[in-house]
Amino acid sequence: MTFRDSVYERARRAGRRIVLPEGTDERVRAAATRIERERLGTVQLLEGPAPRSLLPEMTRLLRTRHPDRFPTDVAAAAALEHPLTFGAALVGLGRADVMVGGATFPSGDTIRAALWAVGAAPGITTVSGAFYMVRDDAVLTFTDCAVVPEPSPEQLADAAVAAARDRRRIVGDEPIVALLSYSTKGSAAGPRVERVRQALEHLARRRPDFAFDGELQTDAALVAPVAARKAPGSRAAGRANVLVFPDLDSGNIGYKLVQRLGGWEAIGPILQGLARPVADLSRGATADDIVDTAAVAVLQAGERS
């Protein structure tokens, strides 16, 4: 069974409700048909005017969560005119389990809607993005490749925790996290190396329930013989499956090199660190991309027994 087959099969068992707020887009409509045909979830397709009966409840949600931004019902109702905000509010109210949006809007709109209506997960202050890089039986998590250009040490730690949580749900194995750098355990110095070292300290203070280490060069993170020479005794070196990149440049460049030159499939970006799943799409997404993203987002919501 391929990784995609496994994701689809577990999504079928989850039985989640998926809202697609951009129902006038042909790709989204085609994806909705396939999601239901594949039995990946129950789809609510928003086409044109959204149902108005929930507006009072949604207005209260936004005003309660962000009273400064939405000081009046009129302000909240205006925000809910955006289909992504309306869709995210369905998730925030528990009327849907997952929203998949962004096929026709920039990523900032999706993230903003998610933060307004859903918010960050407990213990997380910064939302980040991951790609699941797949080749044969191998699956690597790359983060952050989509959201935060210059993460602080605290934000790098957030990305590590969020990626580890989601990997357990999406891949089903134990996360082993490497904080990447151009240095391995003091082989180089500089402000960028120091930032990764501080991220390691922040992560260690949280006492997470997964193996992690840093700062590690990519070969030390992935290749056991290299790890034995460069980082002997490390809990993560040589066997990492979650790679936390030090900035958005390196993360975005890294996943595209692995995808285009290495022949790995890139599934994502997957938003992580939210209290409930809201998935962001590339505006170049195909119907198949939307289906894949929806299936992954369903797993972020957790499986049902």
The partner residues of 140 in beta bridges, in order of sequence, read 133
Tens of pLDDT along 63-122? 999 999 999 999 999 999 999 999 999 999 999 999 999 999 999 999 999 999 999 999
pLDDT at 303: 63
**Amino acid identity of 193?**
V
Examine domains 1-119+274-305 and 124-270 and report if their fold is the same. yes
Query: What are the boundaries of each domain within the chain?
Result: 1-119+274-305, 124-270
Q: Return d(Cα 46, Cα 12) in angstroms, integer.
A: 22
Q: Say how many CA atoms lie within 13 Å of 174 toward its Cβ.
A: 9
CATH 3.40.50.10750 fits domain 124-270: yes
Tokens standing for residue 8: 């689809």
**Does 46 have pLDDT greater than 70?**
yes
**Does 305 have pLDDT greater than 60?**
no
Q: Return d(Cα 295, Cα 169) in angstroms, integer.
A: 12
Tens of pLDDT along 218-241? 999 999 999 999 999 999 999 999
What pTM, to 2 d.p., does this model score?
0.90
pLDDT at 283: 86
- Stretch 136-155: mean pLDDT: 94
- Stretch 164-178: mean pLDDT: 96
pLDDT at 304: 54
Quickly list DSSP for 51-116.
Answer: PSTTHHHHHHHHHHH-TTT--SHHHHHHHTTSHHHHHHHHHHTTS-SEEEE-SSS-HHHHHHHHHH
Choice between 44 and 283, residue whose per-residue pLDDT is larger: 44
Q: Return d(Cα 287, Cα 190) in angstroms, integer.
A: 44
Tens of pLDDT along 173-213? 999 999 999 999 988 989 999 999 999 999 999 999 999 99
Q: What is the dihedral of CA 85, 90, 93, 95, to 10 degrees?
A: 180
pLDDT at 50: 64
**Does 48 have pLDDT greater than 80?**
no
Q: How far is CA 153 from the centre of its chain?
A: 19
**Does 47 have pLDDT greater than 60?**
yes
The partner residues of 100 in beta bridges, in order of sequence, read 279
- Percent of the chain exceeding pLDDT 90 equals 90
CATH number among 3.40.50.2300, 3.40.50.10950, 3.50.50.60, 3.40.50.720, domain 1-119+274-305: 3.40.50.10950
For residues 130 and 270, is the Cβ–Cβ distance under 8 A? yes
Q: Return d(Cα 164, Cα 149) in angstroms, integer.
A: 20
Q: Is 8 helix (H, G, I), strand (E, B) or coil?
A: helix
**Does 168 have pLDDT greater than 50?**
yes
The partner residues of 266 in beta bridges, in order of sequence, read 133
